[in-house]
Amino acid sequence: MTIPSVLPRRLGTLALGGVLAFALVCTVAQFVRTDLDWLRTPLSFYLLDPYGLWVQTAYFALALSLVSLGVGWYVELRPQARSAAPMLLFACAGLALAVTALAETGRHGQPVTLETLVHGLAAQAAFLCVTTAMLLQAWRLRRDPRWRRCFAAAFVLAALAFVGLWVHALWRDAPRGLTQKVEIAMILIWLGVAANGLRKGGDAVEAGVPELQRG
């Protein structure tokens, strides 16, 4: 295998590790932070106080995963299917997520500061960039013969996550913690499947398609 073909697999492995680490840490945090109501508390508040460093580390791991996915898929796809747009959006989402982890969110009853404003804007940017990147990356799959059969499922899941983001943003009466965590779960599922597919490689996917279906 040449270096260009090995690189996406390694980036996919790295990305999958980060996605799984984020999912594991943030799931455990829901149980150990008994002082927080998981239905009403957004994930940002788990960055504070006890176990906050663990959650912050998980944010950084996911940020690295997003960058790895963007670069990995750009290298993996055939030239006619490549686009710099999803790669750049994944990178922007990773950067925004890192800023979200570093800038402390506002505590209840405290005035809004520049740091809390940065946190909020970075979190919104991360959500918007990653869901848009997912849509665009899924759309590009249809132009690569090895990945075309994965296009429909990838695009539908990305579209659901994109719609879910706006439901979370606009449905203000819903439990904020619940809607945000459902949205995060949909994003993580897409990222995890995309990372695992990248780890296995397009040749493995193509090998599983019967000759009649390919032709």
Select from 35, 112, 184, 60 the least CA-distant residue to 46: 35
Most confident of 15-19, 38-42, 103-107, 209-213: 15-19
Position 25 pLDDT exceeds 60: yes
Q: Are 133 and 89 in contact (CB under 8 A)?
A: yes
Position 147 pLDDT exceeds 70: yes
Task: Flag whether 116 is in a domain.
Answer: yes
Task: Flag whether 67 is in a domain.
Answer: yes
Structural domain count of the chain: 1
Please compute the mean of the pLDDT values over residues 34-50 and round it to a whole number. 93
Position 14 pLDDT exceeds 90: yes
Task: Flag whether 15 is in a domain.
Answer: yes
Task: Flag whether 212 is in a domain.
Answer: no
Task: Flag whether 213 is in a domain.
Answer: no
CA–CA gap between residue 141 and residue 34 (Å, rounded): 43
Task: Flag whether 209 is in a domain.
Answer: no
Domain containing 68: what range? 3-201
pLDDT reported for residue 137: 98
Residues 60-84: pLDDT tens digits?
999 999 999 999 999 999 999 999 9
pTM for the predicted model, two decimal places: 0.91
pLDDT reported for residue 160: 98
pLDDT reported for residue 13: 97
Angle at 16 between CA 198 and CA 167, to 5 degrees: 95
User: What is the overall mean pLDDT for the chain?
Assistant: 91
Task: Flag whether 211 is in a domain.
Answer: no
Please compute the mean of the pLDDT values over residues 111-138 and round it to a whole number. 95
2 DSSP assignment? -
CB count, 10 Å around CB of 77? Answer: 21
Task: Flag whether 215 is in a domain.
Answer: no
